[in-house]
Amino acid sequence: MILTNIKQLVGIQSEDKLKTSGFEMNKLNIIENAYLQINNGKIIGFGKMKDLSMDEIEEVEDLTGKLVLPAWNDSHTHLVYAGTREKEFIDRINGLSYEEIAARGGGILNSAKLMEETSENDLYAAAENRLKQVMNMGTGAIEIKSGYGLSLNGELKMLRTIKRLNEKFDLTVKATFLGAHALPKKYKNNKEKYLDLIIKEMLPNIEKEGLAEYIDIFCETNYFSVDDMHKILEAGRKHGLKPKVHVNQFTSIGGIQKAIEWDAISVDHLEVMNGKDFNALKNKSTIATLLPSCSFFINIPFGPAKKLIEKNISFALATDYNPGSSPNGNMNLVNALACIKMNISPEAAFNASTLNGAYAMEISKNTGSITEGKLANINVTSNINSYGFMPYSFGQNHIERTMIKGKWIN
């Protein structure tokens, strides 16, 4: 298949470029008036229209007036969940903070209760719906976490649901086990016992069924400590799971340093950062992941995207799609919020949402940019003048069509 007369082909990278960082994030390589050639689910060529020889091509699609970009890579979500939490939304409007709601037994524990009451089939149906919605907004690969089960059966139910989504859809779905998301009521005064349950019961079963690739922990004041993280990541490694962790959302307690010690693939949130935290991230393979829609929704500081660029620390942008802190999986909105509230350029936001998102899921060799040999995971826009129009017209979706592994999904 060949896509022709593309107004702008955006996000071209060389094969060896696996992530962008520093001021190079402010650059997007573009070809005006371009073609893109696809075969067997992969990009096999691109260039200027005037250089295209059409001899043996069978299928042609004319994209006059449209931009083509790599599909979004959303590297941090909790898209599998039961029920919703709009009551907490009202509580926050009336003055309670996210942390105060959690301290009253709401928050994550609220979702855990709803999870317990929901069958695997109903859970799957709701998640499938959400996944279709985000794919229609341009997401071409996604990471999904467990963490609302908080029991052996609950966590397995969530992870099996994620596996089923991966089997049903063409898009890449990466699974992360987040047993240490909150302390269940039952273990209120016995955290060690819950950690034991994770380590001795959940992890062996997850490995046996091949249900996850990554391990996560909510390392935060009033949730899990840095020592807890050490235990969990150590146990995870024994079962072949690599760390992608929640750190520095409300307080800086040393989680970043500990995660790096365990070769974390990514450290996510980072709304609260001190000098030591920035230093720990310099020249590391671990990528930061910022979640602007979470900051927006629960009214907390936005992650320090601009500073990370200045310090040459690579970061991805993701939605954090979940019922408590970001009930929205729209990567277009994430891009707009990153530009508007974190003050970064549309180019930096695009790079963070495409190639760097792929890096945060360890798939940037195969996707995240327009590169020969990579998967044909692309977004086609409506007739807009420039890619900057997308974050500028915030809250709207200008992705008209999405192709995943060479197939149009809409």
> Closest separation between CB of residue 320 and ligand NIG, Å?
5
For the CB of residue 326, give the shortest distance to Fe ion in the complex, in Å.
Answer: 8
Residues 6+ apart with CB under 8 A from 104: none
Do the Cβ atoms of 259 and 226 come closer than 8 Å?
no
Contacts for 69 with CB less than 8 Å, ≥ 6 apart:
10, 11, 350, 354, 370, 378, 379, 381, 387
For residue 103, give the 3-state DSSP assignment: helix
Residue with tokens 């891009």: 335
CB of 245 to Fe ion, least distance (A): 10
Which C-beta is closer to ligand NIG: that of 259 or that of 403?
Answer: 259
- CA 7 – CA 35 distance, rounded (Å): 9
Residues at the contact surface with Fe ion, assessed by CB under 5 A: 320
What is the smallest separation between the CB atom of 325 and ligand NIG, expressed in angstroms? Answer: 3
**Burial class of residue 80 (count of CB atoms within 10 Å of its CB; 0-12, 13-18, 19+):** buried
Site mask for ligand NIG (CB under 6 A), range 324-343, x = bound: xx------------------
Q: Considering only residues 107, 154, 304, 391, which one is a binding residue for ligand NIG as defined by CB under 6 A?
A: 107
Q: For the chain, how far is it from start to end, CA to CA, in angstroms?
A: 16
Distance (Å, whole) CA 276 – CA 259:
14
Minimum CB separation from Fe ion for residue 87, in Å?
20
Q: How far is the CB of 20 from ligand NIG (least distance, A)?
A: 24
Total number of residues that touch ligand NIG (CB under 6 A): 12
Nearest distance from residue 153's CB to ligand NIG, in Å? 19
Which CB sits closer to ligand NIG, 319 or 402?
A: 319
Residue 249's nearest CA partner among 214, 276, 224 is 224
Interface region with ligand NIG, contact rule CB under 6 A, candidates 270-278, 318-326, 340-348, 382-390: 318-326
The verdict on 292 binding ligand NIG (CB under 6 A) reads no
Residue 294 as a binder of ligand NIG (CB under 6 A): the answer is: yes
User: Which residue in the shown chain puts its C-beta closest to Fe ion?
Assistant: 320
β-sheet bridge partners, residue 143: 174
Q: Which of 4, 146, 248, 249 binds ligand NIG (CB under 6 A)?
A: 249
Residue 405 interacting with ligand NIG (CB under 6 A) = no
Q: What angle do CA 381, 386, 387 make, to 5 degrees?
A: 65
Cα 211 to Cα 32, 207, 362: the distances in Å are 43, 7, 17
Answer for which of 46, 124, 214, 218 binds ligand NIG (CB under 6 A) is 218
Of 127 and 294, the one with the shorter C-beta distance to ligand NIG is: 294
- The residues binding ligand NIG (CB under 6 A) are 107-108, 111, 218, 246, 249, 294, 320, 322-325
